[in-house]
Amino acid sequence: MPARLIESLATTEPLANLFSDESVLQAMLDFEVALARAESRAGIVPKAAADAIQATAKAANFDVAALARETLRAGTPGIPLAKALTAKVRAANAEAARFVHWGATSQDVADTALVLLLKRAQPLLAADLARLDAALLRLSNHHADTVMLGRTLLQAAPPVTFGLKAAGWLAAIRRSRERTESAFAEALVLQFGGASGTLAVLGDKGLDVGRAMAEELGIGFPDAPWHAHRDRLGALVASCGLLTASLGKMARDISLLMQSEIGEVAEPGGSGRGGSSTMPQKRNPIASAVTLAAAIRVPGLVAAFLAGMVQDHERGVGGSQAEWPTVAAVIQATGVAASSMAEAAEGLEVNKARMRENIEATRGTVFAERAAFLLAQKMERGAAQQLVKDAVRRAEKQGRHLAKVLAENPKVTEALGLKALRELETPEGYLGVAEKLRKRLLAPPDKRS
């Protein structure tokens, strides 16, 4: 299903479908089916009852709007769900209805349903991040020697390579991706504790039922219920915050490089992408805008989740109730940012000529550092710095190249020689170890030289 209009810039269609009412409801029903099947395996529930529950537990059989209204009154979706499921099962098998939701509590349903949704969201995120990884790797390798201005505090600085910039984006995203994958692995665990987290209703069979449920659902089985301990989910939400921020950094750079005055890269265009409602010449950074919007929203959502982690006793008031929309919004924001940046990277146009022109437009002033350090090898460092500063001011005032202004000073020509001055403004000659750094960023940790 498509995203709701109000969320159309906040999610992708697959994630909108995943967090749709029908999908969320089915996740809760999947919990109830796994519970009945596990209890049947343990000899607590008759197999016929488990089969009847499974046959009935289809989202299409329920009135989602009614469940939503009743959830607001009950304070949890588990209560109206168990009531509705019991009624549906009773209509088909009165005896089986007695065993619906046997030994579970409402928070078990809600938490495990959320975990199941997260399990299904993980491969969606992973697919877009894999696309992005491959595209950025290609860009970095292809533009290993493409020189461009470095920019510090939004001002022109000594040159870098676009390959190094792309490698920096990729390395940060890879680090965040690894953290997120690890957090997913920890968070995808069953919630099953019953009223106070002791599974007292099930006697000495509580652990057996829990293990069987986890197996049925394909998720992990924790040491104990985690009703009031939200650290696993907190780690996942926080890691998504870091990942979205890394994606936002890439988006910020692309949008700045797309400014008309700079024009060094361009996002892919196409029908309905990047245009303006009134200005035909516009090619807007839409993927970057969507990603930056996600990066703006997510920190507040992360803070909201962390604030709700301080919960009361065995089951808290308000904290877990805040989580469903918060976690869903974080995952969808992370997903739309990953998808948008994958699209941008796969079709990014890099204008090498414009990058060179922008270096030339500085008339060599970005090589002032280079000149100062070369001179400092021949004279007192403070004097060298002042000499170059004076030359930069004259070059800017007269609209001339720094090297030519410096060549008019006998002290400079004596110290450096004309050959060094002719090569001063060659960007390829002042890249330091940029290529080695690029390769280190892209290499596996055990293969970095």
Instruction: Write out the catalytic residue numbers.
Output: 276, 315
Other Cβ atoms less than 10 A from the Cβ of 260: the count is 8
Contact 427, 359 (CB under 8 A): yes
Contacts 24+ apart (CB under 8 A), 66-73: 67/25, 68/21
- Report the alpha-carbon distance of residue 27 to residue 114 in Å, rounded: 8
CA angle 386-389-391, nearest 5°? 110
Supply 359's token pair: 């270096």
Supply 448's token pair: 């970095």
Contact 125, 88 (CB under 8 A): no
Supply 87's token pair: 């009624």
Contact 183, 203 (CB under 8 A): no
- Report the alpha-carbon distance of residue 159 to residue 428 in Å, rounded: 8
Helical (H) or strand (E) element with 264: none
Secondary structure (H, E, C), 165-201:
HHHHHHHHHHHHHHHHHHHHHHHCECCCCCCCCCCHH
Contact 375, 165 (CB under 8 A): no
Please tell me whether residue 149 adopts helix, strand or coil conformation: strand
